A and B are shown apart, each in its own frame.
Chain A
Amino acid sequence: MEDQAQHTVTGGGKKAIPVPSAKNHPLVDAEEPNLVENTFPYDLPPLIHFENGVTEVIDGRPVTFDFPAVKDRNILITDTTFRDGQQARPPYTVDQMVRIFDLIGRLSGPNGVIRQTEFFLYTKNDREALDRCRALGRKYPECTGWIRAVKGDFRLVREAGLKETGMLTSSSDYHIFHKLNFKSRAECMDSYCEVVDAAFEAGVRPRCHFEDITRADIDGFVLPFAERLARMSEQVPDELTVKIRLCDTMGFGLPFPGVRLPRSIPKLIWKLNQEIGFPSDRLEWHGHNDFHKVNVNGTAAWLYGCDFVNTTLFGFGERTGNPPMSGAVFDYIALKGDLCGLDTTAITELADYMRSIGLPIPDNYPFAGRAFNTTRAGIHAGGLRRDERIYNIFDTGTLLDRPPRVAITDKSGADGTALWVNEFFGLKGPDRISKIKCARLARWVLDQYEVEGRLTAISDQEMEAKTRELLPDHWARYKSS
């Protein structure tokens, strides 16, 4: 008879939590593989299926976040490539901004998943870039502004004809007292609210950037300020109501339940959303990557109740950067289970363009680095040769116009060499050249290391020249034209 006793699991060796007695796990033998394709469909990125929400304890009460509901919520992505993204590098030229904007628009698709992008408005170049981007006639991304919390700056927003602008309303005492030199929180809040009033008067929707919120006094400043903004918003039409951008300026935010404020993302969002009453479509998350959590924090913000996640191209942004747009895009598709009109191949074009204008993207950078789906080990190449799904994260050929590749090194072996050759000739299925036919090339590769003492990877150009020499018949058949 099975042991019916209660088992326990321990968290950190401290509290024992009773769980039902252990189940038996007999082997489920199979002659056909179970590839778990409902989660790994391959023509889409791996899907994120939720079985249940997550319960967090806030102010002593259990609160359940309905994660499965995200599939039906109108979550969206916003962009700050030209603002935060540009603060971290020399300025883009106007032509560069127009090209980038156009490609972001293509990525965004007809549903406007990349909904907004923001522009500085201070220089002649800033304003020319904005005008030329709008002249492209794209519906999305919508153009918004970014100004200091200074009343006079609304003239710029009005003159540019923008409906919405971000404005700096720093929320931590580090900023209030040590950066902005206010004498008190009350003085600071009054000053911010004057600017919000000026926005209303100018007919511009203010998006208050709660800078450094993950280091702020939430009960002492953030919630009272948000409450005041909510009351002020009651006096204006819907299209002018205040939006709040939660700025995790230093990357201190944490996505796990149980974390204390101010670092808790679930508690921050819940308090603004449920306690103050800011609806999800007026809450936006803006992260930084100082602790490597930038992408998952953005996705967590969606799940906990922000409708918008603010991103930049390839994460370029102040210091360690912002949530990378490509990461948000693939999490978006994974949550929705659909491309939602996104043209993900634009990510590859954007990466190529960024490299062409001198912005380095690390080779191993997900979705966009030159080697993000390049395998080096021969045994992995062997797997790829048999079925690319074994070592490719999804159909990168279709979704990113980047089929999986192999880099040729001493570890490539005959499998890797054959895979390179077939990819080079563009051969698939029964047309593929066997590794037997690539034996001479594989020998040349190995001799580079074993005989010549080479220490570097073999370039595509070298492989191409050698393929022409050692596989002349195939070259004549597939490359002569």
Chain B
Amino acid sequence: MATVKERVIAVTAKVLKIDAGEIGMDSSFAEDLGAESVQSIELVAMFEEEFGIEMDEDEALAVETVATAIAFIAAVCREQGVEIEE
């Protein structure tokens, strides 16, 4: 199974239509990767689908960087009993 980091990067690349190689751990979704308003929502929606989890809307949309997204998603997965490869 791919790690949380790999899956987050893959989803981000697909939604934002960018090369996965451009995505760093410190990349900001909005400022560095160019995520616009609706794309931010799509990212959260696709993360939910990818991991089979439900995220709090406000908390999820407050996440700014790839690193914090990985940590946030991992925490939600643990809370909701979803098995992941960290």
A interface, CB within 8 angstroms of B? 378, 413-414, 434-440, 442-443, 446
Contacts and interface: CB of A to CB of B under 8 A. Distances in A.
Interface residues of B, number: 11
A278 B62 CA distance: 67
Contacts of B44: 436, 439
Interface stretch (B2-10, B23-31, B35-43): B35-43
Interface in B21-59: 37-38, 41-42, 44-46, 48, 55, 57
Interface of B: 37-38, 41-42, 44-46, 48, 55, 57, 60
Contacts of A438: 41
A413 B55 contact: no
B57 A442 contact: no
Which A-B residue pairs are the 9 nearest by beta carbons? A439-B45, A414-B41, A434-B57, A439-B41, A439-B42, A436-B45, A442-B38, A436-B44, A446-B38
Contact of A413 (B38, B45, B60): B38
A390 B58 CA distance: 19
A446 B37 CA distance: 11
Contacts of A440: 42, 45
A344 B16 CA distance: 49
Most interface-central of A413, A436, A442 (chain B CB within 10 A): A436
A437 B48 CA distance: 10
A436 B57 contact: yes
Contacts of B55: 436
A439 B57 contact: no
14 contacts: A413-B37, A413-B38, A414-B37, A414-B41, A435-B57, A436-B41, A436-B48, A437-B45, A438-B41, A439-B41, A440-B42, A442-B38, A442-B42, A443-B42
Contacts of B60: 436
Contacts of B46: 439
A414 B39 CA distance: 9
Most interface-central of A434, A435, A437, A442 (chain B CB within 10 A): A434
Most interface-central of B37, B41, B42, B57 (chain A CB within 10 A): B41
Nearest to B43: A439
A378 B55 CA distance: 22
Nearest to A414: B41
B56 to A, nearest CB: 9
B53 to A, nearest CB: 11
A442 B55 CA distance: 18
Contacts of B57: 434-436
A413 B37 CA distance: 7
B41 A435 contact: yes
Contacts of A434: 57
A343 B64 CA distance: 50
A435 B55 CA distance: 12
A450 B37 CA distance: 14
A446 B38 CA distance: 8
Contacts of B41: 414, 435-436, 438-439, 442
A378 B48 CA distance: 24
Nearest to B56: A434
Nearest to A447: B38
A68 to B, nearest CB: 45
A435 to B, nearest CB: 6
Nearest to B40: A414
Given A436-B55, A436-B57, A436-B60, A414 B48 contact: no
Given A378-B37, A439-B41, 7 more contacts: A413-B38, A436-B45, A436-B60, A439-B42, A439-B44, A443-B42, A446-B38
Contacts of B37: 378, 413-414
B47 to A, nearest CB: 9
A442 B15 CA distance: 14
A283 to B, nearest CB: 56
Nearest to B58: A434
Contacts of A435: 41, 57
A443 B38 contact: yes
Contacts of A437: 45
A62 B45 CA distance: 69
Contacts of B45: 436-437, 439-440
A380 B62 CA distance: 20
B17 to A, nearest CB: 12
A91 to B, nearest CB: 52
A403 B65 CA distance: 38
A446 B41 CA distance: 13
A351 to B, nearest CB: 34
Contacts of B38: 413-414, 439, 442-443, 446
A449 to B, nearest CB: 11
A223 to B, nearest CB: 65
